[in-house]
Structure 1
Amino acid sequence: MASSPPTSNLAGVTDQHLADLADLAPLDLPEAGEAEAWRSFLSRRVEGELATARAQADALRVLAAGDAAALERWNDLHVALGNAFAVSSLLAQVHPDQQLRESAERFEQELHAFQTGLMLDVEVFGRLESVPREGLDEALAPGATRVLDDALRAFRRSGVDRDDATRERLATLSARDSDLSQAFGRNIRDGATSTRVPASALAGLPEDYVAEHPAADDGTVAISTAYPDMGPFLMFSADAAARREVMTTYLNLGWPANDEVLGELLAVRDETARTLGYDGWPDYDAELKMIGSGSAIAEFVDRVAADAADSAQRDLAVMLERARHDDPGVERLTVADSRYLGEVVRREQFEVDGQAVRGYFDFAKVRRGLLDVTARLFGLTYTDVAEAPTWHDEVAAYDVTLDDTGERLGRIYLDLHPREGKYNHAAQFDLVSGVGQRQLPEGVLVCNFGRGRMEHSEVVTLFHEFGHLLHHVLAGRHPWARFSGVATEWDFVEAPSQMLEEWAWDHSVLATFATNADGEPIPAALVERMRAAEEFGQGIYAATQMYYAAISYRFHAELPDDLTARSAALSQQYAVWERLPDTHFHCGFGHLSGYTSGYYTYMWSLVIAKDLFSAFDADDLFAPEVARRYRDTVLAAGGSADAADLVEAFLGRPYDNRAFTAWLES
């Protein structure tokens, strides 16, 4: 049975608690550019925390059976292990020094090996299994029983109760999964490249973009696979052949290396699940999610695809008709046409000119506006810590405090521009997981935006990813490491961030920071047209997401021999766009590493996000009562209760799909 949602202490912190927090400080990082100092910091941090974790495991083993202190030792162990994982995982993806990134990856492997061994340790399991449950929450701290149940389930899912040979095989499989997952991500990250196209293909692109892409002696320009480069080109270039070349390059990121890597990774996961008695990886993976089973994933994907079909085909027909104005012989549109034709239709039928819209979103103003909006909404203050050392000069640091009490909640870092060797998508990374009265949460927002003007879609992405960062910081005061930060079921994780996207579509919000070169705020009528234009493609968006979700699920459920052929077949079944020949999307689909068979979670979370948003006043998105209640009930709770219970506590009822269905059909 799901536990009851906790009562948040966000707005009722005691004087003693504030005094304890005053003694906490963020990590003391080296200065940017000091590679040797960073290597030393990485080694000290990981090796020191890993040594602490080993010591806690040793101390746990010698406790008498039935000693509740075993759970406290378990928590201490995971505080240390989480610290080691966080810094190695982050620096492996963002640090400019390649040698340090490689060292961080090796540390990750060592940490995974320790974690695997720990979860197969029958002595540690035995000490935890013997902890008496009666009165445990009162004896230790609220949530202790939930932590214990979670730990014991994790041990059994690791195979601790199997024979020696099986445990040894599971350990080997876990290590191989870690190595292959690292290789998969590395091949995508390090495979970033560019395509040379005629300079004439830049006709119609923004002036600042053209200026940043001077032609070479042969009359060509380079368009990289980085989002700030590729996105505007695919949106505004009328050169269909050039768009096709650029998109083909992007869809071959990680290929051919990742074809073999992914094939083995799928096999390793399948063997792991079957060794543990599951019917396959999707069932094993879904057990810890709201959806519950692998078969339910397939049903959800097909249901959403069916619900979106009419809307998607209607909008596709509009785009195809428009394409035939330029080329009467067009029979089917490809994925390389999607952004360009979407922009043309928005401009011609909805009077939304992407370049005109872009003129209102200066990056510096957007970043400042994001902070102002979320501070006002959730009762926070962000203090620029200009003197804080970081791993790169472009990374900004802010301390976050709670207006209600003056409590310092933690520190955030914004690493928002592309550079060589950096993680090339958008995500929130932990640097430190917050633990009540022990350590402040520190989170990092890693994106790849340009330094000048932004597309509105990029603004939406920035709001989305910042939602994860807020979740990490606001849920950083629990005494149990298991509850800290974004620790909910994975098919709920995206919902708070998807809901925050709504503030990037509201005129009263955008007008506070979206201004043109003359300082004039974006017109309300334009924002309304932007919303109408966005609704135009909702069915296509849902169909595309279901194609991605189908790859994620079907690859893990079926283990196809020919991944490219299966991807092509799924594209034919779910996607509305014609697949480009000789492309291998799955090799660059980074979510196959982390989300495994569960990419459906983006759409599952969106159902909940739309319902959460229905509680807000659409005419006053800054109304404080509902925003603070949401902050305290959902975000601050972290993983201390099941997501369905948190949502029900906020809405006053179980969530449903009515708001999502209305959105999809609009």
Structure 2
Amino acid sequence: MANPLLQTFDTAPFSKIKNQDFEPAFEKALKEARAEIEVITASTDAPSFTNTIAALDATGEQLNRISSILFNLNSAETNEEIQQIAQNVSPKLSEFNNDLMLNETLFKRIKSVFKTQNKFNLNHEETRLLEETYQNFTRNGANLQEGQQKRLREIDQELATLSLQFGKQVLADTNAFELHVENKEALEGLPENALESAAQVAESKEKTGYVFTLHYPSYIPFMKYVKNRELRKKMAIAFGSKGFQQNQNNNEEIVLQIVKLRHERANLLGYNTHADFVLEKRMAKTAIKVTSFLDELLEKAKPAAKKEFKELNEFAKQVDGIEQLQKWDTAYYSEKLKQKKFNLNEEELKPFFELDQVVSGVFTIAHKLYQLNFEKLTDIDVYHKEVTTYKVTDQHGNFIAIFYADFHPRAGKRDGAWMTIYKNQQIKNGQNERPHVSIVCNFTKPTKTQPSLLTFNEVTTLFHEFGHALHAMLANTTYSSLSGTSVYWDFVELPSQLLENWCYEEEALALFAKHYKSGEKIPQTLVEKIKASANFQEGMLTLRQLSFGKLDMAWHAHNPTQIENVKQFEDGAFKDTQLLPSIKQNCMSTAFSHIFQGGYAAGYYSYKWAEVLDADAFSFFKENGIFNPEVALKFKQTVLSKGGTLDPMDLYVSFRGKEPDPEALLKRAGLIENS
């Protein structure tokens, strides 16, 4: 039977793919991609933009599509066999990438076009592609000596393997833990729907009572509502010890290997640190600027955070005689304090945020802003029965994108939420090929008696990932490598974080926040409470995000070769942002997938950086109306459709008319007074 991955396909043929198809498909696709590059290097024609730069951008399309399928399955629906295939394939992909970047003949052609670009009469997008291509080669070893290039290849192969191993071990520790509670009385405070979910998990494992796991929809309600402090402690310690236990999943050595290899790689390429290498291609530009940015926010947030923490500590002491708040206390007492201050119970909100209704709402908002329509499809192949697919069209009925949505946790899915692309937008042979885009989340599952009712945090997460999806869906560039979310990492979070703002707006909530039983719109009193509580503990939350950014920079903006103890180093990095006592059994770094498995190394600060952009951008929407068609069209035309065709600051200024004002974020967060 023919290998489905090697056939011509539009949407990914998930149901036809067998695990044994992947490795032969990669072998063939790698061979074809090498042949495509050989055509470019063997050409006897003088190097030009068309026969070298554009031709290179068009290579490896099948390889990219097969890669997107395998690596998304490895994140969203994995098993031991897929994990092994990913481990086998990753070094080969690294080798291919190195062969490409270190291809002397190819680089000579690229360099020739770069040096003589004035004679090609290039437009701004072509100029951008040329510059990005040239820099990509110089930044990845094209100018190194032969011995240095050999070492670069070794490092990249090692890093590819270590990164996958890191993620595999975090997932293994996540799945290995369960808290089995037979006595319902021990779970006092836990809402009925969370109890029902835990009972279903127990039933699926053929156990009596209730089973809780480290997956977010199980873990978060437990930590927020269970009165039993010892049980909360068990859960918190288990959650914080992923990758840090004395078992086969321990990630300490992997963390040290990764940071030291990244540092060596940066040095080989002429950079002082990995952060210097990464940030050269970011809006922030330098590690000094990132550190200064984080420190400035810390200066503003720390007094507020200390005040909020003192209030929380006093509240816990008053309510339950707690002398010293611990990691397993903050979510529980914060929820109680929030209820007291705002008369707002998270459980009160959930009946108004039924998943299908929220999805319908985000679609309606996308229609009102960007005239997009979403039609559910049943004839598109999916990798799991829980995945839903949609055809996206514009107001004229033109096809815009295929959209996949995968919302609930499974044993084969890593924690968190993300957006991925199965097919990039590009203009090929005169045709505008439209993208296939997916969002993957871990939201509260339906139970036997209730549909999936989302927490407000899950609602904002859905909007966040859908913001990324819009960035990919509305892409309208010529070249695949500049399309959609192919932008600087500290700019990519702007569309996602911007869309979260609509979750707090009465006009937007009215479109989807309806009681799942009665259909009653969310009461105005609850809307007011959501808005009033939006900045609750903002100082503490900001401090938490800054602590992650600072930990990331501590690992990547300095020479790590002398670091021997991961936990000790991490505690040092956290000292300026720490409010709670350190727990000896817990370590963040060993499960910090963003920087050791994902692409956020030396880039975690970008969440806060993009918050400055999104606060400033949303203030423009607010001034003109959150559904103002002119402002939405301008954002679509100047940001969402442009991808990486211009410098991000130029894109932002073309939308906003000025550079972003950091005070917009501080005002929104309540960290400085509104004038």
Q: TM-score, normalised by structure 2?
A: 0.90
| Alignment-derived partner of residue 240 in structure 2 | 251
> What is the identity, as a one-letter code, of the residue corresponding to 1:429?
T
Whole-Å Cα distance in 1 between the matches of residues 195 and 387 of structure 2? Answer: 26
Whole-Å Cα distance in 2 between the matches of residues 226 and 542 of structure 1? Answer: 24
**Change over 3 Å in CA distance of 1:637–1:218 after alignment to 2:** closer
| Alignment-derived partner of residue 203 in structure 1 | 188
The alignment partner of 1:180 has SS state of helix
> What is the identity, as a one-letter code, of the residue corresponding to 1:362?
E
For the 8 Å contact 1:430–1:444, the answer to whether it is kept is yes
1:239 equivalent in alignment to 2:228: yes
Work out the number of aligned pairs and report it.
Answer: 634
The alignment partner of 1:274 has SS state of helix
| Alignment-derived partner of residue 97 in structure 2 | 115
> What is the identity, as a one-letter code, of the residue corresponding to 2:283?
M
In the alignment, which of 130, 142, 163 is matched to residue 112 of structure 2?
Answer: 130
Summarize deviations over 1:170-203 as a string: whole Å, max 9, x none: 1111111111111111111222132335643422
| Alignment-derived partner of residue 630 in structure 2 | 625
Alignment of 1:327-476 (within 5 A): 327-331=320-324, 333-403=325-395, 405-436=396-427, 437=431, 439-451=433-445, 452-475=452-475
For the 8 Å contact 2:101–2:142, the answer to whether it is kept is yes
1:397 offset after TM fit, Å? 0.7
Whole-Å Cα distance in 1 between the matches of residues 66 and 330 of structure 2? Answer: 42
1:119 offset after TM fit, Å? 0.7
> What is the identity, as a one-letter code, of the residue corresponding to 1:644?
M
Summarize deviations over 1:67-111 as a string: whole Å, max 9, x none: 331112211125444334322321222235542343244333322
The alignment partner of 1:335 has SS state of coil
1:446 offset after TM fit, Å? 0.9
| Alignment-derived partner of residue 299 in structure 1 | 292
Whole-Å Cα distance in 2 between the matches of residues 663 and 211 of structure 1? Answer: 37
Whole-Å Cα distance in 2 between the matches of residues 95 and 178 of structure 1? Answer: 20
**Change over 3 Å in CA distance of 1:262–1:83 after alignment to 2:** same
Alignment of 1:538-577 (within 5 A): 538-556=538-556, 557-559=558-560, 560-577=563-580
Whole-Å Cα distance in 2 between the matches of residues 137 and 307 of structure 1? Answer: 48
The alignment partner of 2:535 has SS state of helix
Whole-Å Cα distance in 1 between the matches of residues 207 and 480 of structure 2? Answer: 58
| Alignment-derived partner of residue 479 in structure 2 | 480
Whole-Å Cα distance in 1 between the matches of residues 14 and 296 of structure 2? Answer: 51
For the 8 Å contact 2:32–2:60, the answer to whether it is kept is no
1:493 equivalent in alignment to 2:498: no
> What is the identity, as a one-letter code, of the residue corresponding to 1:94?
A
The alignment partner of 2:403 has SS state of strand
In the alignment, which of 138, 144, 162 is matched to residue 126 of structure 2?
Answer: 144
1:579 offset after TM fit, Å? 2.9
Whole-Å Cα distance in 1 between the matches of residues 307 and 12 of structure 2? Answer: 56
**Change over 3 Å in CA distance of 1:612–1:79 after alignment to 2:** farther
1:606 offset after TM fit, Å? 0.6
Alignment of 1:306-317 (within 5 A): 306-317=299-310
| Alignment-derived partner of residue 19 in structure 2 | 39
For the 8 Å contact 1:402–1:409, the answer to whether it is kept is yes
1:657 equivalent in alignment to 2:662: yes
Summarize deviations over 1:400-452 as a string: whole Å, max 9, x none: 1121x432121111011111121221111121111122632111101111222
Alignment of 1:7-86 (within 5 A): 26-31=10-15, 37-39=17-19, 42=22, 46-64=26-44, 65-68=46-49, 69-77=51-59, 79-86=61-68
Task: Select between 127-136 and 446-455 the one with higher mean Cα deviation.
Answer: 127-136
Summarize deviations over 1:379-414 as a string: whole Å, max 9, x none: 1011111221100111011111121x4321211110
Task: Select between 431-440 and 68-77 the one with higher mean Cα deviation.
Answer: 431-440
1:46 offset after TM fit, Å? 4.0
> What is the identity, as a one-letter code, of the residue corresponding to 1:415?
D
**Change over 3 Å in CA distance of 1:84–1:569 after alignment to 2:** same
| Alignment-derived partner of residue 217 in structure 2 | 228
For the 8 Å contact 1:50–1:84, the answer to whether it is kept is no
Whole-Å Cα distance in 1 between the matches of residues 30 and 226 of structure 2? Answer: 51
> What is the identity, as a one-letter code, of the residue corresponding to 2:291?
A
For the 8 Å contact 1:92–1:105, the answer to whether it is kept is no
Whole-Å Cα distance in 1 between the matches of residues 572 and 79 of structure 2? Answer: 41
Summarize deviations over 1:640-663 as a string: whole Å, max 9, x none: 111111110001112221211212
> What is the identity, as a one-letter code, of the residue corresponding to 1:401?
T
For the 8 Å contact 1:274–1:280, the answer to whether it is kept is yes
1:177 equivalent in alignment to 2:150: no
For the 8 Å contact 1:95–1:101, the answer to whether it is kept is no
For the 8 Å contact 1:434–1:485, the answer to whether it is kept is yes
What is the CA RMSD across the aligned residues, in angstroms? 2.2
The alignment partner of 2:576 has SS state of helix
Task: Select between 624-633 and 574-583 the one with higher mean Cα deviation.
Answer: 574-583
Whole-Å Cα distance in 2 between the matches of residues 123 and 61 of structure 1? Answer: 6
| Alignment-derived partner of residue 18 in structure 1 | none
For the 8 Å contact 1:504–1:510, the answer to whether it is kept is yes
The alignment partner of 1:241 has SS state of helix
Whole-Å Cα distance in 1 between the matches of residues 624 and 187 of structure 2? Answer: 41
Bigger relative contact order (CA 8 A; separation at least 6):
1
For the 8 Å contact 2:263–2:559, the answer to whether it is kept is no
For the 8 Å contact 2:12–2:422, the answer to whether it is kept is no
Unmatched segments (≥5 aa) in structure 2: 1-7, 446-451
For the 8 Å contact 2:244–2:585, the answer to whether it is kept is no
1:92 equivalent in alignment to 2:91: no
Whole-Å Cα distance in 1 between the matches of residues 624 and 646 of structure 2? Answer: 31
1:229 offset after TM fit, Å? 0.5
**Change over 3 Å in CA distance of 1:455–1:213 after alignment to 2:** same
| Alignment-derived partner of residue 178 in structure 2 | 194
The alignment partner of 2:323 has SS state of coil
The alignment partner of 1:347 has SS state of helix
The alignment partner of 1:487 has SS state of coil
